[in-house]
Amino acid sequence: MATLKAFYQRTVETKIENGFVINVKLNANHEVYQGHFPEKPVAPGAALTQMVLDEVAEKTNGRHITELRQIKFLSVIDPTQVSGLELVFEIKQRNGVEMFTCLGKTETTNYFKLNGIFG
């Protein structure tokens, strides 16, 4: 997605038992904030969701995601106040379905949670 180019930068990757953690740095000067919103920037939910989809596809060799479930935005991300996020991905089987969860957070705040199904 061309509009998300340079929306964020991956800074650190860590493998964990059932998944991986990716630290990202948000670009507070990205063009998306010109319309969302010029005086008080807020990271758009669609951009955050696309970031998660891009990262899970990258880390799982392009596995096809058939469904997203329970996308919850828990706190507003102002990129001038929150410059980095930790994306914690867990991959698991539930009732014969392979799925992933992603929690976007900092040390003090959970910002969003997303569940997806691999097809």
Q: What is the pLDDT of residue 1?
A: 41
pTM of the model: 0.93
Identify the structural domains of the chain with CATH numbers, from first to last. 16-118 (3.10.129.10)
* Cα–Cα distance for residue pair 61/63, rounded to 1 Å: 6
Q: What is the pLDDT of residue 5?
A: 87
Closest CA to 24 of 3, 1, 6, 2: 6
* Cα–Cα distance for residue pair 76/112, rounded to 1 Å: 9
pLDDT tens track for 76-96:
999 999 999 999 999 999 999
* Cα–Cα distance for residue pair 13/23, rounded to 1 Å: 6
Alpha carbon dihedral 69, 107, 51, 99, in 10-degree steps, equals -30
